Structure 1
Amino acid sequence: MTDNNLRLVTVERTGAGHFTATNARGGTIAFGTGSDPDGADAFTPVELLLAAIGGCSAADVDVATSRHAEPGRFTVTVTGNKISDEHGNRMTDLAVTFSVAFPDGEPGDRARAILPRAVKTSHDRLCTVSRTVEIGTHVTATVADT
């Protein structure tokens, strides 16, 4: 594995039940347990997982379709059921639904024609996030020396 393959996100606790993730480029996103009445933790970790799945596929599909026509609407909805069973807490029945509208005319027709294939290609091959979830990968959790 090379440094070009490595992805890194650091999560810092900012308060009880509140965290900020920072990527290597300095981008940040706040999240938490979902218990903040003021909405400071607007996303929970599970919601971030759903957003990552939807965002990854959205980016793939957008690249493929928007070169033909700019969409008038581009919405991706990701749903799933959070359960607790003999395997622990996890998500099941994950579903990604695209709702995309392109303008009338030949460019919009081309974009509409490739939309189903773009969604399938993202799901089957391109989207790193959903591919990782579907195929599965080992996660190691350790405590660093402090």
Structure 2
Amino acid sequence: MTDTPTHAVTLTRVSEGVYQASNGRGAALTVNGDGNFSAVELLLAALAGCTSVDVDVMTGRRAEPEVFEVVASGTKSAEGGNHMTGLQVRFRLRFPEGPDGDKARARIAPAVKASHDRDCTVSRTIELGTPVTFAIETP
């Protein structure tokens, strides 16, 4: 029995080295090309985006952030085949002074830990090393 994917993205060639990614909800973005995200940058965006949602939900219930920036970074390595090393997600968060801001600040570390340990599908998949299978279909 084959598992039915719950998430899928279709990539269509626009020109040499430039592609359009689209999802089933009609959203689209260009990959590569002038001024667009590279595939590696999209991986980093997915990593930051996934964990940002977790942390935002857990802290934002207490107070609206004044600053909410998340930077995902890493180094591309060719040793042993191209891959990323030193992946890091840095949170730059500031909440207002006062009791609600204090409650939000108190939730930051537990929220980041919960996202890392359990909730963020992207970072969990990267860390667990899920195998990727490739198939060739002829239209």
TM over 0.5: yes
Stretches of structure 2 that go unaligned for 5 or more consecutive residues are: none
Aligned to 1:85, what secondary structure does the other structure show? coil
The residue number in structure 2 matching 1:138 is: 131
Distance 1:2 1:13 in 2: 27
Report what 1:60 is aligned to.
54
CA–CA separation in structure 2 for the residues paired with 1:2 and 1:134? 22
CA distance in 1, matches of 2:28, 2:123: 22
Higher mean displacement: 94-103 or 13-22 = 13-22
| Residue 25 (1) aligns with residue 25 (2) | yes
Q: Which amino acid counterpart does residue 120 of structure 1 have in structure 2?
A: K
> How many angstroms does 1:24 deviate by?
1.2
Aligned-pair RMSD on alpha carbons? 1.4
Q: State the shift of 1:145 in Å.
A: 2.3
The 2-side partners of 1:43 and 1:133 are apart by 20
> How far did residue 2 of structure 1 move?
6.7
- Is 2:114 aligned against 1:128? no
Counterpart amino acid of residue 59 in structure 2: T
1:91-110 Cα deviation digits (max 9, x unpaired)? 00100000100001111000
| Structure 1 residue ranges, 4+ long, deviating more than 4 angstroms after superposition | none
Q: Provide TM-score, normalisation by structure 1.
A: 0.90
- TM-fit CA distance, 1:21: 0.6
Q: Which amino acid aligns with 2:37?
A: F
Deviation at 1:6, TM superposition (A): 1.3
